[in-house]
Homo-oligomer: A and B are copies of this chain.
Amino acid sequence: MAISNIRYGEGVTKEIGMDLQNLGARRVCLMTDKNLSQLPPVTAVLNSLAKYGINFQMYDNVRVEPTDQSFLDAIKFAKKGEFDAYVAVGGGSVIDTCKAANLYASGPMSDFLDYVNAPIGKGKPVSVPLKPLIAVPTTAGTGSETTGVAIFDFKELKVKTGIASRAIKPTLGIIDPLHTLSMPERIVANSGFDVLCHALESYTALPYNMRSPCPSNPINRPAYQGSNPISDVWALHALRIVAKYLKRAIRNPEDREARAKMHLASAFAGIGFGNAGVHLCHGMSYPISGLVKIYKPKDYNVDHSLVPHGLSVVLTSPAVFAFTAQMHPERHLEAAEILGADIRTARIKDAGFILADTLRKFLFDLNVDDGLAAIGYSKADIPALVKGTLPQERVTKLSPRPQTEEDLSALFEASMKLY
């Protein structure tokens, strides 16, 4: 289990120029997106770069919910710039794009598919040395600052996939809760749902000693190792924070305590799932995002349709945990209790129902769209959604309960309407 360096505190972003000086960086690539480039988190970084005389170029063309093409654009910029360090300021989209840019610019002879997860890409291990990457998360969701994962939408296949390697994990994550004060309400909600699912999925993932294949050489073991006694600590801790602070963080942008707690919970859950992995909510979310039709979420200032990642993940969560509970019912019950259920008289065999019900209440209270139907899907789309889930075996095989195509179909159907 490997864990990134993180630094936490209000205002710590102002030290980033010193960090880059300490790294001996002479040509820095600063990545962000168009919205953020006008907002305080980027300003704080720019001020620090100026103060310490750091030479940099800014790339603010990152796409929210990136695609293979938007990754390639960023990679092209990175190759041309011959940078010796990277700084990513943003949510998961920015940090993931920056990881990919660093990776392919560090090994310029690689074909794009070389490192993309099998079976879509070749899933080759990374052997080139990468440049240092400092991640400054501005949402409280992906935990991307702590993981070796970069997710994108493969347009041609209409499916999300990614790159997963410990080698692309950021050198340092700067967790400055001041940045979360810039987040609009739905971004807090959707990124918080991602934290919720990271915690729930990694806590209920197939245990590390039941995973197969189990490569005998440690170097060949995947980043996602199954639930284990260490990731469990992070997952439960993150879940407790979500239970206590997510609603407050969503409802009141001035609630600094709640927003700061969620910012840390995002990193905690990231460390947990970055080692244990996620399973069905994430596996099924990729086609939900990839096949988006016309849904345009509130508070996202973008010119294309998109289903925010956290929303695409959480909409199936009641159905998923009702399905998986029979394998580890006591863990599902424990999660339900943390999320507020009274389990004193609960029967263990009802664990899945209880957790699903608790999640539905939680989502209803937070004004979440009423299921996949509310974001534009109908029964007719289920075969395509199932087809888009099948290649996600990197995560779906970490489900504690194996699933057939019929099971997936039933899970999507059960997620059409939640309330």
Q: In the bound complex, what is the Cα–Cα distance between A234 and B22 (angstroms)?
A: 29
Name A164-180 residues within 8 Å CB distance of B.
none
Q: Known: A219-B22, A233-B234, A237-B233. Is A7-B1 also a contact (CB below 8 A)?
A: yes
Interface size range on A against B: 20 to 34
Taking CB atoms, residues of chain B closer than 8 Å to A6 are: 1, 230
Q: How far is the CA of A216 from the CA of B5 in the complex (A)?
A: 18
Return A224 CB to nearest CB of chain B, in Å. Answer: 15
Given contacts A19-B218, A22-B219, A218-B19, contact A1 B9 (CB under 8 A): no
In Å, the complex CA distance between A229 and B7 comes to 11
Q: Contact at A5–B9, with CB atoms within 8 Å? A: no
Most chain B CB within 10 A, of A5, A216, A237, is at: A237
* Residue in B2, B5, B237 whose beta carbon sits within 8 Å of that of A5 in the complex: B2
> When the two chains form their complex, are residues B218 and A7 in contact, meaning their CB atoms are under 8 A apart?
yes
State how many angstroms separate the Cβ of A263 from the closest Cβ of chain B: 10
Please provide the chain A residues from 209 to 241 with a CB less than 8 Å away from any CB of chain B in the complex: 209, 216-219, 228-230, 233-234, 237
A173 — nearest CB in chain B belongs to which residue?
A: B1
**Complexed CA–CA distance, A218 and B172 (Å):** 12
Nearest-neighbour CB distance to chain B for A8, whole angstroms, equals: 7
Residue of B nearest to A234 (CB): B233
The answer to the question of A268 belonging to the interface, with a C-beta cut-off of 8 Å to chain B, is yes
B residues near A264, Cβ cutoff 8 Å = 229-230
Interface residues of A in 1-34 (CB under 8 A from B): 1-3, 5-9, 15, 18-19, 22
Q: What B residues does A18 contact at CB under 8 A? A: 216-219
Kindly name the residue among A7, A19, A218 whose own CB sees the greatest number of chain B CB atoms within 10 A: A218
- Chain B residues closer than 8 Å to A15, beta-carbon distance: 216-218
Identify 20 new A-B residue pairs, CB closer than 8 A, beyond the known A7-B218, A9-B208, A230-B264. Answer: A1-B5, A1-B8, A2-B5, A6-B230, A8-B228, A8-B229, A8-B230, A9-B209, A15-B216, A15-B217, A15-B218, A18-B217, A19-B218, A22-B218, A22-B219, A229-B264, A230-B268, A233-B234, A233-B237, A233-B268
* 26 A-B residue pairs with CB within 8 Å: A1-B5, A1-B6, A1-B7, A1-B8, A2-B5, A3-B3, A3-B5, A6-B230, A8-B230, A9-B208, A9-B209, A15-B216, A15-B217, A18-B216, A18-B217, A18-B218, A18-B219, A19-B218, A22-B217, A22-B218, A229-B264, A230-B264, A230-B268, A233-B233, A233-B237, A233-B268
